[in-house]
Each structure stands twice: as structure tokens, then as C-alpha cells.
């Protein structure tokens, strides 16, 4: 069985500094796979390499067996890979449901003719996109905010809204970059439930996260980075008891 995501000997250098060096791992379809490590370990750089924001200095990334290291983020979305960011990319001058509908653009079948003359195909597509966006907002727990301006929503609700927008593109794998950052305990518990629900839908989840309670509770496997290199990889039980991880990450 081919892994959904494969990372082979991936490296990225900025000048003489190796932010990521020789990283290899694979993620099977349907897994919750977390990347952890101290600040500056290279976690977000790794996500940026996987999702096409950075070009690797060397190494390879594959999605469903296809090399994707040189593809742009929009091309990756077309192939089933979407992500969220540490700094939320929400359009604050739009309503919540309009933000989610942005994520549906890949599924809309339109061209210049249908757009200019507002042909029925376009109208049907927009109606379906709005219905799907509303369904996803209910799924992530934002159903009460359908026509609310994004600028009027709480921080925790905006975090879930960004996940809904990523899911709107119908991804095979969604990468979440520090989704629990800035959330209180109640919001983090809701996020944990949401990640479980996403995985139950058959969508693979990869996340960078500092909240150890969260990642240990929901992850099938974890990758530990330290100074851009793989320190350990395994199940939560294996990582929790790994002496190198305890020394490097938990201060020993």
C-alpha cells in the first residue's frame, strides 16, 4: 500500500543555515499525524516545503505516489492537499460563509461565457457551493455565524472557520499549523473533537502543534524535530517514553 504523503530526505537551507535537514517519513491515508519539537525546530518550514510555499534544497515530497515538490499551492489543492496557517488568512471584510465559499472555487465549473451571462450552470454552482459551505460551517461548529461578518467573530470561531474553508476544497489531506495556538481549554477540547471528526470522514490530518496534551490524545503517529533533523518518530506511547525526546523537548 502506497503512503498518501511521502517525504524523502527533505532539506532546506537558508544561506548556510539548515532549517530542515534529511527529513524522511510517510503518512498513511486516514491517519492523524503530528509534527512536534521545540521552537525553531523546523516544523513550519517542513509544512511550507510540503505545501509548495518553499522549494526544497534537496529531497522529495510525494502525494499519492506523485512528486509534488515543484508544484504551486493551487496545484496541490487541485490534487487534494490543503492547509491552514499560524497567522490566519481570513478575509475580514467578508461574511463567514463567503470565506468558506472561497474554498469551493476549485469545484465550481464556470468559464467566461457562463460568468458574463449568468447562465443557469453558474447559478446552480453558486447555490450548491453555498449549501456545502453552510454544511461545513455546521460541521466545524460555526453554524450560528453563517452571515456574520468575519470581523465580528471570536478568535476561536475564526480558527474553526479557517478549517472549514480548507475542507471546502474536498482535500484528501489537510495540514493544520498550530491550530490550538491562542485557544482556551474549552476551545481546545472542541478542536480536538473536530480533528477526530475530520479523520472519521477519511481525511488525513497533519498538524504542527505545541499542545502536548492535544497531540498525544489524537495522534496516530508523531514526528519529533530538533534543529531541523528527525529526533524520533512513532506512536504517542513510543514518543512519550523516548529519552531523547524527554531531554530535548521536555527539558529532561
Angstrom distance (rounded) from CA 37 to CA 209: 9
Residue pLDDT, tens place only, 192-207: 999 999 999 999 999 9
Terminal CA-CA length for the chain: 38
| CB of 63 closer than 8 Å to CB of 7 | no
CATH no. of 1-80+172-252:
3.40.50.300
Residue pLDDT, tens place only, 170-187: 999 999 999 999 999 999
Instruction: Tell me the percentage of the chain whose pLDDT exceeds 90.
Output: 75
In whole numbers, what is the pLDDT of the chain averaged over residues? 89
pLDDT of residue 86: 81
pLDDT of residue 123: 64
Angstrom distance (rounded) from CA 207 to CA 187: 17
| CB of 86 closer than 8 Å to CB of 181 | yes
DSSP 39: T
Residue pLDDT, tens place only, 50-80: 999 999 999 999 999 999 988 888 899 889 9
Identify the band that residue 16 occupies on the pLDDT scale cut at 50, 70 and 90: confident
Q: φ and ψ at 207, to 5 degrees?
A: -140, 145
pLDDT of residue 142: 95
pLDDT of residue 12: 96
Identify the band that residue 113 occupies on the pLDDT scale cut at 50, 70 and 90: very low
Please give the residue that has the higher pLDDT: either 193 or 126: 193
3-state helix, strand, coil in the chain (%, to 5): 40, 25, 35
Give the pLDDT mean for 136-148: 95
The domains of the chain are located at 1-80+172-252, 96-170
Residue 237 pLDDT exceeds 70: yes
Residue 17 pLDDT exceeds 60: yes
Amino acid at each position: 500500500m502506497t503512503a498518501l504523503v511521502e517525504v524523502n530526505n527533505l532539506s532546506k537551507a537558508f544561506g548556510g543555515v539548515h532549517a530542515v535537514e534529511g527529513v524522511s517519513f510517510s503518512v498513511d491515508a486516514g491517519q492523524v499525524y503530528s509534527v512536534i519539537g521545540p521552537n525553531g525546530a523546523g516544523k513550519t518550514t517542513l509544512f511550507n516545503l510540503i505545501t509548495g510555499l518553499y522549494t526544497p534544497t534537496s529531497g522529495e515530497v510525494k502525494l499519492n505516489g506523485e512528486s509534488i515538490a515543484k508544484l504551486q499551492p493551487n496545484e496541490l489543492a487541485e490534487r487534494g492537499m490543503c492547509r491552514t496557517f499560524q497567522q490566519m488568512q481570513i478575509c475580514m471584510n467578508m461574511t463567514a460563509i463567503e470565506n468558506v465559499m472561497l474554498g469551493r472555487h476549485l469545484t465550481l465549473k464556470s468559464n467566461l461565457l457562463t460568468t458574463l451571462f449568468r447562465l443557469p450552470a453558474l447559478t446552480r454552482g453558486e447555490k450548491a457551493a453555498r449549501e456545502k459551505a453552510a454544511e461545513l460551517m455546521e460541521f466545524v461548529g460555526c453554524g450560528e455565524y453563517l452571515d456574520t461578518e468575519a470581523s465580528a467573530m471570536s478568535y476561536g470561531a475564526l480558527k474553526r472557520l479557517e478549517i472549514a474553508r480548507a475542507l471546502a476544497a474536498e482535500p484528501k489531506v489537510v495540514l493544520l499549523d498550530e491550530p490550538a495556538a491562542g485557544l482556551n481549554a474549552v476551545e481546545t477540547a472542541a478542536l480536538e473533537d473536530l480533528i477526530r471528526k475530520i479523520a472519521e470522514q477519511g481525511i488525513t490530518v497533519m498538524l504542527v502543534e505545541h499542545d502536548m496534551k492535544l497531540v498525544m490524545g489524537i495522534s496516530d503517529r508523531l514526528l519529533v524535530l530538533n534543529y531541523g533533523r528527525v529526533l524520533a518518530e512513532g506512536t504517542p506511547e513510543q514518543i512519550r517514553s523516548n529519552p531523547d525526546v524527554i531531554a530535548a523537548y521536555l527539558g529532561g
